[in-house]
A and B are shown apart, each in its own frame.
Chain A
Amino acid sequence: MAPETLIWLLPLPPLLAFFLIVLFTNRRNALSHSIAVGAAFLSWLGSMVVFILALQKEHLGEHPFEAALNWLPVGEGWLKIGVLIDPLSAVALFFVAWTVLMIFIYSVGYHNFGQPKGDHDRKGLPPHGATLTDEHGHKHTVPSIEPMYARFFAFIGLFAFGMYTLVLSDNLLTMFVGWEIMGLCSYLLIGFWYGKVSARSAMIKAFITTRVGDMFMLLGIVWLYSATGTLSFRAILWDQKVLDGLVATDGWFGLSAAACIGILLFLGTVGKSAQFPLHVWLPDAMEGPTPVSAMIHAATMVSAGVYAVIRMFPLLSAGMEHGALTPPMLAMAGIGAFTALFAATIAVAQNDIKRVLAYSTISQLGFMIAALGIGGYVAATFHLVTHAFFKALLFLASGAVIHGVEHGVLHTGQHIDPQDMFNMGGLRKKMPITFITFTIGGLALAGFPFITAGFWSKDEILADAFAHAPLVFVVLALSALLTAFYTMRQIVLTFGGEPRTQAAEHAQEVRWTMWLPLAILAFFAVTLGWVGIPEALSGGLVPNWVHEFVGSSLPHHPETLEFNMIPLITSLVVALGGLGLGFWYYRRVGSAAADRFQVPLLKNKYYIDEIYDRFLVKPAYWLADRFTNQILDRGIIDGALHGIARVAGSVGGILREDFDKPVINGIIGDGTANLYRTLARWLRPLQTGRVQQYLLMGFVLAFTALFYYIYTLRP
């Protein structure tokens, strides 16, 4: 099989699984998850083969695997669908394949496969548990299976299809197809438990917010196509003439067309990757089941947004001279750095274990965007990949924690929020595997020096920032400090100390289908960093593979930074400092009330939701309802119409009463008749019926005529 054929086939198994499950097997749980996991496995296997082929191929950057088909005729040309494997898509494929497969396997355990059906479980609500009676007559409440088990696997299958399509696509259109499919899936999955009001509003919020970004992206695509006549990555991004042409063309606001298109495309990413100011949907997306959170935060959705701007980097940076950043890059650097710090501060004050992670995702995505903004192409890619692994790990592990605590809740009957970290504590003894893996993920997130992947990728970003944009460097370093701090807070509150509730006391370790994926992801969360160690540091012992390989995706290979000790030391200090501070402070905090960082401003996420509601949503509805609907449409347009109808009606009435009846009827109609009648009445006496009288009248008339003739007409 030619590699291209294999690449075409990669996205298809999850799609097939979606249709199979929806159409045929949605009542058969075991069959459904076998199909879905099997499909994910096939795609994973194919991806690994493709990845290895890509590694073996020399000069993959110049000669990637690619193929395209005609799809939609537009004007003179065709819009195409196509696949492309270059170094960038190869590494993206690597992390997508692994994380997707792990999430699929994990979902089997997470949705309580093999457990009994719940007592009162309903579709659209999370399972509530089932009561079992053992042989001694004791009643136990145990977790129950998800009521819509099969449907879940169908949806995540479609989700995976969307991500594979996006990663493999060779042009913006196919990419947008995958992009939108994921938007739909995120909607369906965030609202998976649609019986909950919060889930329903979260699903709508996610869809509409990302849609705002999509709108800009679509406009960017349209502009790009109008300007270049193609949407193919290779044809635009590897062709210096095309890029120069776009830089030379004027756009708006005094910017070049390249800059405008770049900013529009970046706005798509702002929505998808939850950057300020469109970040609000991501924390609410926690309403979905935890594997979905992992899908959205690591394997797909938000990574897709970052992937898109990395992919478009040659366009975004087109026209860069002597290190002066282009407008799109400035926008990315500014928004990315701001988001990184902004989200990190919010994360400090959150108590929901998943919400902390959600804000940490926003913050880390900010790191990547900022890195790209200052030209750190390789650093952004590297952090995207490592982040995908350790964030998937953290989410799945937090799901395991929640699962364990829920087990305790069911066992003890104590009604507490199983996601609130202040209801946990001491879980390291109850759930050792989860504890170890979570800690590895957390250390990677915090950038624990030298051994974790997160350290190396974050260090690379900081090094880039230090070299190119000192301000960004300071902001990111501060964010990294906060990241380490809240990560340690999370670890300490969850696993450290003694159990703070009965439920935490009775928490139980999860089954192998759940911990095995954790272990595998933890492996990558550590080792993956070793492929990107700066050569100056390792003394050339380990080649900086990431830089060589990923960098070759660009037409001009990025330069290797001169090694500098300051960013490395900063990385070390902020990571260790943050972790240390976190441990030192939260070791003694036992309740939310004792936590001094529970500032209302942070807790309420700077009131952004409220501000949007007040200044965007409500006015939009006012405009639509009061103004457009009631005043303009029903008032003016319909009013005018009814006015015309009324005028026409009254004109008709006036015509009838004042003209038709008196004038036409009275004078012309009835008048004529009356006239004749009167005339006839006058003439009636003449008609006597006596011949003599007629004769006499004849004579009189004849003589009268004669005399008249004689006297008047004679000359």
Chain B
Amino acid sequence: MQFPVLSVIVLSPIIAGLLILLIPANRKTEIRMAALAAATLAMLLSAWVYFSYDVQQGGYQFIEHYTWLRQMGISYIVAVDGMNAPLVLLTGVVMFTGVLISWGLDDRPREFFAFLFILASGVFGVFVAQDLFMLFFFYEIAVFPMYLLISIWGWVQTREYAAMKLTLYLFIGSVVALIGGLAMYFEAGMVSFSMWDLARAGFSTEFQIFWFPFVFLGFAVLGGIFPFHNWSPDGHVAAPTAVSMFHAGVLMKLGAFAALRVGIMLLPEGAQFWKIGIMALALVNVVYGAFIAMVQTDFKYVIGFSSVSHMGLVMLGFSTLTPEGLTGAGLQMFSHGVMTALFFAVVGMVYDRAHTREINALGGFSKKMPWVAVAFIVGGLVSMGMPGLSGFVAEFPIFMGVWRVRPLVAIVAAISIVITASYIIRIIGRVFFGKMPEEFEHHIGDVTALDKLALVLLCAIMITIGVYPAIMAPMVSSGVESILRLLGGA
């Protein structure tokens, strides 16, 4: 039998999390080392899966299939294809860097890492699950620890509000999606939750059109779709740094990915019917998020709303149902994940030292922490879609796909290019250049070597994909091809 690498990736974080709970709470170094070891393992394994995926062959690979509840048709099926393999890698990377930059966390690190790893298991699970029941199961596992992580370790002023808001939004979203999922299960009448079976169920067009909005929007809430996006900036801001990284970097992709995997792939005719509606919502996301980001005075809120804007591009790509748009969306999920993880890491580093996130109160940080400044500029260029970095590789195909469907939408979305530039430039100018206030001049020092390692890793990934997109794009394209086959070659 083949080595069950995906199961190991999914289960190792949660097992590591439980083991960490057994370490006495005062042995903080050991806790951190254990966390780092687990995160390294997860990252290396996910990288291994990514690089040993055979793009020529395509389709689902590394399949593991165990029947669990035969009577109800629930199985444990995990596999990767071109669409989710990058996301598995992304999760591994964010987990590893998240641990690195949380090294200094001093308040109950044991519980923190344990919850974080339970969350990570859930995320890995959703990405690789091919059984609808399992997908929901992992989805809830991913959402629940978020509540604890934010409400315990979050920013004191808003953490309870934000944690509650986020959890409610996401649970309501998942309930709506679950109803859709159950409808599919019963309509198919095959006593199987396997999404491979459900894809062959041949749902009637009316059924698809009716249930598609439930499934798609239910999951897209976690992707931050307008007008259900408001949990995300509040949640991002309230969360501790590593959680924000996970949250914006990976969790939002979870929503978008599940909306694609369950909504578009299982109900393709519904997607055809509703695509202009989704495009409209996503367009609002793109422009609206960018606009609000432009006027935020809190550094972290700017990044939070920029995520709303960029996730809009992902969903804009989905809504085109064209090879270009979907490929771009797949790349954008990865690119944005890395980029926003970097952004939140940077915000955290600045906040930890300055104890304020007001943009106008900051200034001159490039002198004290040059690595952070350079990393932020690289991330900023990615978010502006600068050629040679991963953002361009992702956004250009999206715009192309949108243009093929609705040129006017592409034009309006393009406004965000300018607005994004303006808010990123504003932050770079104010926070990293500009004049440093007197009170920071003396007590602010540089970041640690581990922080730098995390930043360098994230930047290196964005640059590599930007310069040499063939490392990822063909894989995503192969995943997109199978989606397009479901859509009937449309």
Partners in one complex: yes
A-side residues, CB < 8 A to B, are: 70-76, 79, 123-124, 173, 176-177, 180-181, 184, 187, 191, 194-195, 200, 203-204, 207-208, 211-212, 214-215, 218-219, 222-223, 225-226, 621, 623-625, 628-629, 632-633, 637-638, 641
Binds A, one of B152-160, B192-200, B261-269, B418-426: B418-426
Q: Are B429 and A204 in contact (CB under 8 A)?
A: yes
Q: How far is the CB of A196 from chain B (nearest CB, A)?
A: 11
Task: Determine the chain B residues whose CB is within 8 A of the CB of A625 once the complex forms.
Answer: 295
Known: A74-B396, A123-B367, A211-B418. 6 other contacts (CB 8 A): A73-B474, A211-B421, A214-B417, A226-B400, A637-B230, A638-B230
B244 at the interface (CB under 8 A from A): no
Q: List 27 A-B contacts (CB under 8 A).
A: A72-B470, A72-B473, A73-B469, A75-B397, A79-B396, A176-B387, A180-B388, A195-B435, A200-B429, A200-B433, A204-B422, A207-B421, A207-B425, A208-B422, A208-B425, A211-B384, A215-B418, A218-B417, A219-B403, A219-B411, A222-B403, A624-B291, A624-B294, A624-B419, A629-B292, A641-B165, A641-B230
Binds A, one of B62-70, B250-258, B321-329: B321-329
B227 at the interface (CB under 8 A from A): yes
A-B residue pairs, 8 tightest by C-beta? A625-B295, A177-B387, A75-B323, A624-B291, A194-B433, A72-B469, A628-B291, A624-B295
B410 at the interface (CB under 8 A from A): yes
Quick one: closest B residue to A627, CB to CB?
Answer: B291
Q: Are B367 and A219 in contact (CB under 8 A)?
A: no
What's the Cα separation between A621 and B404 when bound, in Å? 32
Q: How far is the CB of A230 from chain B (nearest CB, A)?
A: 13
Q: Are A76 and B323 in contact (CB under 8 A)?
A: yes
Partner of B410, one of A176, A211, A219: A219
Task: Determine the chain A residues whose CB is within 8 A of the CB of B437 once the complex forms.
Answer: none
B399 at the interface (CB under 8 A from A): yes
What's the Cα separation between A625 and B292 when bound, in Å? 7
What's the Cα separation between A170 and B202 when bound, in Å? 48
B407 at the interface (CB under 8 A from A): yes
Task: Determine the chain B residues whose CB is within 8 A of the CB of A638 once the complex forms.
Answer: 230
Task: Determine the chain A residues whose CB is within 8 A of the CB of B384 once the complex forms.
Answer: 211
Q: Are B291 and A200 in contact (CB under 8 A)?
A: no
Per-residue A-contact encoding for B90-110, CB less than 8 Å = 1, 0 else? 000000000000000000000
Given contacts A176-B387, A200-B434, A222-B410, contact A637 B227 (CB under 8 A): yes
Q: How far is the CB of A648 from chain B (nearest CB, A)?
A: 10
Task: Determine the chain B residues whose CB is within 8 A of the CB of A195 once the complex forms.
Answer: 435
Q: Are A219 and B404 in contact (CB under 8 A)?
A: no
B-side residues, CB < 8 A to A, are: 165, 227, 230, 288, 291-292, 294-296, 322-324, 327, 367, 381, 384, 386-388, 392-393, 396-397, 399-400, 403-404, 407, 410-411, 414-415, 417-419, 421-422, 425-426, 429, 433-435, 469-470, 473-474, 477
Q: Are B414 and A184 in contact (CB under 8 A)?
A: no
Task: Determine the chain B residues whose CB is within 8 A of the CB of A226 once the complex forms.
Answer: 400, 403-404
Q: Are B470 and A70 in contact (CB under 8 A)?
A: yes
Interface centre among A75, A180, A625 (most CB of B within 10 A): A75
What's the Cα separation between A633 and B256 when bound, in Å? 22
Task: Determine the chain A residues whose CB is within 8 A of the CB of B425 once the complex forms.
Answer: 187, 204, 207-208
Q: How far is the CB of B208 from chain A (nearest CB, A)?
A: 25
Q: How far is the CB of A158 from chain B (nearest CB, A)?
A: 11
Task: Determine the chain B residues whose CB is within 8 A of the CB of A194 once the complex forms.
Answer: 429, 433-434
Q: Are B400 and A222 in contact (CB under 8 A)?
A: yes
Given contacts A75-B327, A218-B414, contact A181 B388 (CB under 8 A): yes
Q: How far is the CB of A573 from chain B (nearest CB, A)?
A: 44
Q: Are A208 and B403 in contact (CB under 8 A)?
A: no
Q: Are B400 and A621 in contact (CB under 8 A)?
A: no
Quick one: closest A residue to B430, CB to CB?
Answer: A200
What's the Cα separation between A222 and B411 when bound, in Å? 10
Q: Are A623 and B291 in contact (CB under 8 A)?
A: yes
Quick one: closest B residue to A191, CB to CB?
Answer: B433
Quick one: closest A residue to B473, CB to CB?
Answer: A73
Given contacts A624-B294, A628-B292, contact A212 B418 (CB under 8 A): yes
Task: Determine the chain B residues whose CB is within 8 A of the CB of A75 once the complex forms.
Answer: 322-324, 327, 397, 400
Task: Determine the chain A residues whose CB is within 8 A of the CB of B227 once the complex forms.
Answer: 637
Q: Are A211 and B417 in contact (CB under 8 A)?
A: yes
Partner of B294, one of A204, A218, A621: A621
What's the Cα separation between A215 and B415 when bound, in Å? 7
Quick one: closest A residue to B420, CB to CB?
Answer: A211
Task: Determine the chain A residues whose CB is within 8 A of the CB of B165 once the complex forms.
Answer: 641
What's the Cα separation between A173 and B165 when bound, in Å? 44
Quick one: closest B residue to A640, CB to CB?
Answer: B227
Q: How far is the CB of B442 from chain A (nearest CB, A)?
A: 16
Task: Determine the chain A residues whose CB is within 8 A of the CB of B396 once the complex forms.
Answer: 72, 74, 79, 218, 222
Q: Are B230 and A73 in contact (CB under 8 A)?
A: no
Quick one: closest B residue to A260, CB to CB?
Answer: B407
What's the Cα separation between A211 and B380 when bound, in Å? 14
Q: Are A181 and B387 in contact (CB under 8 A)?
A: yes
Q: Are A225 and B433 in contact (CB under 8 A)?
A: no
Q: How far is the CB of B30 from chain A (nearest CB, A)?
A: 36
Task: Determine the chain A residues whose CB is within 8 A of the CB of B477 once the complex forms.
Answer: 73
Given contacts A73-B327, A73-B474, A211-B417, contact A177 B388 (CB under 8 A): yes
Interface centre among A70, A226, A637 (most CB of B within 10 A): A226
Given contacts A74-B327, A226-B404, contact A219 B295 (CB under 8 A): no
